[in-house]
Structure 1
Amino acid sequence: MDLDFNKDQLQIVVARYSENLEWLNEFNCFATVYNKGETTVEGAVVLPNIGREGHTYLTHLVRNYHDLPEYTVFLQGSPFFHMEGGADCAKLTETIQECMTKKVPFKGFAWFRLRCDRLGRPHQMADPASKGKWSGWGKDIPVGDVYDKLFNRTPPQQFIASAATGLFIVRKDRILTRSLEFYKKALSIIEADPYDEYNTGHAFERLWQIIFNGSKAINP
């Protein structure tokens, strides 16, 4: 199944570190790859290895704010692990096609949703298998604090994250509801914690659905 759209309608942004991108061959005409790994990728935009995928996504939005297609898909370099069982390129294509045909404003692609408090709890940040993989291992996730910095208002007691794995599609008007200055501010918040020592990048994974919810009332 091929995507029945053009580049003015769709762009796929991929945040890569070391993942094999052979799966992306089917989407090449729509794809922009940002590479943070030591291995090179032909045609990719090179970024410093900081800020997790949130840094990649926000960098893309800041650089392309005035030249966005109708829909942007944001993906990690190996997206299928967190999608519904059996997910592959065909399933991803089908999901994107359906979202665009039905004019869906925002959709997370993970097979699950997360409900958490202001500290990202419950979470698995102290999973022994992940020890040493990043500086913030074992710490809580500052979801409430990052929300406060982004929107200048008291955070809710609970959050429901529908794009917790950083895999989602968003419509242009939802992106543009927030100002360019908002995305620059969000990027600066991530850049202030470049190696995720305080789990700022993980906090953004729990806030994408709010960032793109279309509400002007909390747009600073």
Structure 2
Amino acid sequence: MVRIIVVFLGLSAIVVSLRTSFQSQHIVMPAGQGKGGPSKTFVVASLEKEDISWLHQYLPEWDISRYVADDPSANLTVPKNKGQEAMTYLTYMIDSYDNLPDVMVFMHNGRYQWHNDDPLYDAVPVLRNLQLPYLISQQYTNLRCVWTLGCPAELEFNKSPENVDASKTTEIAYPEAFRELFPGQSVPPTVGVACCAQFAVTREKIRERPVDHYKRYRQWLLDTPLDDYVSGRILEYSWHIIFGKPPIHCPNTKECYCKVFGQCDLECEGGECGNHWPFPPFSTLPYGWPTVGWDGETRSDEVLAGLRKNATATSPITGVGSKASVIP
């Protein structure tokens, strides 16, 4: 009887382990333990239909906390699918406040996205190149160095009424939202930070604020009549302020690429480094990207490697493309 019970318990443990691995739920290691270095977690905002297997394949040394915003039955989910990635980020900070890893990267789910700071918009080299000692020393770091979109001034509030662009709904809504998110603080005249709500932050930096602050930010998201896009954008241009940076936070581009990604030989000017991040013609990448280009053309690994190499030039280059060979 004792042997039967032991075998049953052993099988149960295996089943639980397999289920946990399959569902990609997070397991937070104690700080600085378990992997010979700082504990580190990707906090991923996703929907049920989306695939994050690429993270397991290319960055297996990281823990993953995947939140599924549109599945209330998921092991990791959010109170309401609102505010884009901000709801996931805040929910993680609240849920894990007492058991945070050393460093976290808050990110979107897709490998290829137009805003990834890479010549092919590929998140794999972006994440593989992260210089953890520097990230930890800075405590908060945006994962974009290029200034295009967000820097040096994305939101400006000192305009006369006749000069306010009615189409800029985030800019119009931001001052009132700022007063609710940061009571007692004056609304800055200008806010600038590189888009697009992907960043690294340390446990110490998150804990500089009590957990009640993050609960207040999330409650604002839940209560605001602003739509999903605008409310998410307001948080997108508030994270750097939440984590102690000035309203305009636009680090020198060349220094940023060197210190954040170890790419120290780029030629940069005016917030850009050649064609390292080419401005995309559309916000949706073609199906089959990057082996399928913007015009539907098929591109070989050799072509993609060439585009990456040419992307370090200081003058605009046709196509897209970093010096590392393409990652399949």
Q: TM-score, normalised by structure 1?
A: 0.74
Q: CA deviation at 1:52?
A: 1.1
CA RMSD of aligned residues (A): 3.2
- Whether the 8 Å contact between 1:143 and 1:207 is mirrored in structure 2 is no
CA 1:103/1:145 → structure 2, altered by over 3 Å: closer, same or farther?
same
Paired letter, 1:206: Y
Is 2:126 aligned against 1:91? yes
**Secondary structure of 2:92's match?**
helix
Moved more, 89-98 or 150-159: 89-98
Instruction: Name the counterpart of 1:105.
Output: 139
- Whether the 8 Å contact between 2:170 and 2:233 is mirrored in structure 1 is no
Q: CA deviation at 1:192?
A: 1.1
Instruction: Name the counterpart of 1:192.
Output: 223
CA 1:96/1:22 → structure 2, altered by over 3 Å: closer, same or farther?
farther
Q: CA deviation at 1:96?
A: 5.0
Q: Which of 46, 52, 56 in structure 2 is aligned with 1:16? A: 46
Q: CA deviation at 1:116?
A: 2.3
Q: CA deviation at 1:193?
A: 3.2
Could you report, residue by residue, the CA deviation over 1:43-76 in whole angstroms, capped at 9, with x for unpaired residues?
8513342221101100111111111111111001
Unaligned 5+ residue runs, structure 2?
1-33, 160-164, 247-328
Q: Map residues 27-66 of structure 1 onto 2, 5 A cutoff.
A: 27=59, 29-37=62-70, 45-47=76-78, 48-66=80-98
Work out the CA distance in 2 between the residues paired with 1:180 and 1:125.
35
Instruction: Name the counterpart of 2:178.
Output: 147
Paired letter, 1:67: N
Higher RCO (Cα < 8 Å, 6 or more apart): 1
Work out the CA distance in 2 between the residues paired with 1:68 and 1:22.
23
Greater gyration radius? 2
**Secondary structure of 1:95's match?**
coil
**Secondary structure of 1:173's match?**
helix
CA 1:189/1:79 → structure 2, altered by over 3 Å: closer, same or farther?
farther
Work out the CA distance in 1 between the residues paired with 2:43 and 2:37.
12
Instruction: Name the counterpart of 1:116.
Output: 154
Work out the CA distance in 1 between the residues paired with 2:169 and 2:90.
24
Paired letter, 2:55: L
CA 1:197/1:97 → structure 2, altered by over 3 Å: closer, same or farther?
closer
Instruction: Name the counterpart of 1:129.
Output: none
- Whether the 8 Å contact between 1:143 and 1:206 is mirrored in structure 2 is no
Identical positions, percent? 20
Q: CA deviation at 1:11?
A: 1.2
CA 1:117/1:195 → structure 2, altered by over 3 Å: closer, same or farther?
closer
Q: TM-score, normalised by structure 2?
A: 0.51
Q: CA deviation at 1:5?
A: 5.0
Paired letter, 2:198: L
Paired letter, 1:31: I
- Whether the 8 Å contact between 2:67 and 2:77 is mirrored in structure 1 is yes
Could you report, residue by residue, the CA deviation over 1:127-170 in whole angstroms, capped at 9, with x for unpaired residues?
xxxxxxxxxxx7334222222112212210101124x3111001
Work out the CA distance in 2 between the residues paired with 1:5 and 1:108.
25
Q: Map residues 61-80 of structure 1 onto 2, 5 A cutoff.
A: 61-78=93-110, 80=112
Runs (4 or more) in structure 1 with deviation over 4 Å come to: 4-8
Q: Which of 189, 206, 216 in structure 1 is aligned with 2:237? A: 206
Aligned residues: 193
**Secondary structure of 2:125's match?**
helix
Q: CA deviation at 1:104?
A: 2.7
